[in-house]
Copies of this chain bind each other. A is one copy, B any other.
Amino acid sequence: MFIDSDVYKVLEAVSWELSRAEEPALRQFLVETTDLLRRAQEPTGYLNTWGQLVAPQAHFDKLTSSHELYCAGHLIQAAIAAERGAAFSGLLEVAIKLSDHLVDVFLDQGHPGIDGHPEIETALVELYRETGLERYLQLASHFLEGRGHGRIGHTAGLSYIQDHVPFRDMDSLVGHAVRALYLECGAVDLAMENDDVTLLRAAIRHWEDTAQAKTSITGGMGSRHSHESFGDRYELPADRSYNESCAAVAAIHWNWRLLLATGERRYADGIERTLYNAFAVSTSVDGTRFFYSNLLQRRPDHLDGVDTAQRSEWFDCACCPPNIMRLVASLSSYLATTRPSELRLHQYMCASLRAPAAAGQFGITVRTDYPWAGHITCEVTQAPPGPFTLALRLPEWAGCAAINLDGQPTNAPLQDGYLILRRRWQVGEKVDLELPLKPELMQAHPRADALRGALAVRSGPLIYCAEAVDQAEDVEIDGMVVKPGAVLAAQPCDKDGIGATVAVTVEASTPAGSVPGVDAAGALYQPVGGSAEVNARDVPGQLVTIPYFQWANRGAGAMRVWLRADR
């Protein structure tokens, strides 16, 4: 029912790719597929493979599961990408014809349905932005406000499709994570275009709740395998967190919209954390294999029907790979924002950026090895005549930073988490930002039940993991215990199968008397105080950790993000 959306996501990715460099094969695919879609589209504007070939009598009659509006949303997003990225309007004509049909059916004729899978909302707001036609904004608003009244059912319950309570009354994200997050994106878009403060307030409340109690340390969201859904507050398993790759894409979209809406650093921090961890881990180093769910642990005896702790080339439900494609292809859009006489740099990667100024342009080239190192250089390539602000995000993880202008320490006041450099710039001037990037041990809030007695390694924005392949021969990851004061050491290196990385060794020890698979501790359950105290004889050793996103590229083996902290 939703396979059209995968084609649309590929078309969106192709369009963003074409924005950087012309590729005849990609453009041919875009043009030919558009032609196919135009020919398949019904005179009314209706367009959907399932609705035309499988269930032609039932347009919009099974919206609980049909994904007809979901697919339409992805078509609209692809069409706008083709217009903006590839200067190709053909797809937008198809999308507008379908969108006008939706306006006719749902606004004018009063069809009461909403889609079981949100996505159309954010697409329609963008179509409004692209065309200026208010009816698309109205339709998006109609769909958002239509939720929470149980208009369509679902065997997994109304919360699965976020139809259990009106959006504004929702306290915490529940149900299918990707659905919930796509809906949040549409809500923030609508709040912005409608200057709707109460809607924005609800969206922020949802974000704060999710950040406090429903996000993995990697930024992954949706901890339950059942229904690919959010768990309860603080239900954050250290091992089998579902963390669907599509949810990571959606979380980046969500944070980006809230960043645009509020300018607050925490959303840029959220993009960074998700990008380098929950999102990056989804793809193999060679770019050919993908995780659908992104577990935080693989136990040594892992024996599942399908080994979900290994990446696959494809999936029967193929939503994730093309979703990853469209985010990678548009990644450059998430680096910076502008305000009048200001360029605000949110993410640090090598880039050339330009921003309009009152007169002329401001431009910089960013050079950095981030996140491997904390040094970022911005060289001014274009300087407007008047004062202009360069604002640099101070990541929450960093806490402080040193900043030099042409080699001299300079004063850059911190405003809302951004270092502000306001001056008349000269071409060739260099700003050097030094973030104190070093590995450290992380602990979770004690309400996160599954994470008590566990520690994780973080270095800058990167979450680390211990993978069996990197350990000394006699080291069993699950048998090693890390103390809160353990010494950590970073070591840049090259590793077969993953290439350049920075490994972090962690001081650890093996509880005395352990044999492989079983600690000295004995029985599975026993009265408190029943086990012998063997602290004095622990065997010192170390664990080697690598960035989480690089794991599972060297065969199947044990892995842990959360290391054992207690015995």
Contact = CB atoms under 8 A, between A and B. Distances in A.
Q: Of A440, A453, A527, A566, which is in contact with the most chain B CB atoms at under 10 Å from its CB? A: A453
The 9 nearest A-B residue pairs measured at CB: A157-B305, A452-B453, A232-B299, A453-B453, A450-B450, A156-B305, A441-B528, A225-B226, A484-B528
A498 B565 CA distance: 40
Interface string A530-567: 10000000000000000000000000000000101111
Interface stretch (A54-62, A234-242, A282-290): A234-242
A562 B225 contact: no
Interface string A284-323: 0000000000000101011111100000000000000000
A449 B524 contact: no
Interface stretch (A209-217, A385-393, A422-430): A209-217
A206 B519 CA distance: 19
Contacts of A211: 524
Contacts of A301: 171-172, 232-233
A306 B154 CA distance: 11
Contact of A524 (B232, B238, B444, B454): B444
B519 A445 contact: yes
A232 B566 CA distance: 20
Contact of A446 (B226, B231, B519): B519
Given A303-B159, A454-B449, A566-B446, A440 B174 contact: no
Nearest to A176: B305
Contact of A445 (B213, B441, B525): B525
B227 A224 contact: no
A226 B223 CA distance: 13
A174 B299 CA distance: 14
A164 B518 CA distance: 25
A171 B300 CA distance: 13
A479 B233 CA distance: 13
A442 interface: yes
A156 B316 CA distance: 13
Interface string A488-529: 000000000000000000000001000001110111111111
A380 B562 CA distance: 58
Q: Of A213, A447, A456, A567, which is in contact with the most chain B CB atoms at under 10 Å from its CB? A: A447
A160 B304 CA distance: 8
A363 interface: no
25 contacts: A156-B305, A160-B305, A171-B301, A172-B301, A172-B303, A174-B304, A211-B524, A212-B524, A217-B525, A225-B225, A232-B299, A232-B302, A235-B299, A238-B449, A443-B530, A447-B519, A447-B564, A449-B453, A449-B564, A452-B453, A452-B454, A452-B566, A453-B566, A456-B525, A484-B529
Interface string A245-267: 00000000000000000000000
Contacts of A478: 234, 447
A212 B157 contact: no
Contacts of A123: none
A186 interface: no
A450 B237 contact: yes
A303 B232 contact: yes
Interface string A447-465: 1111011111010000000
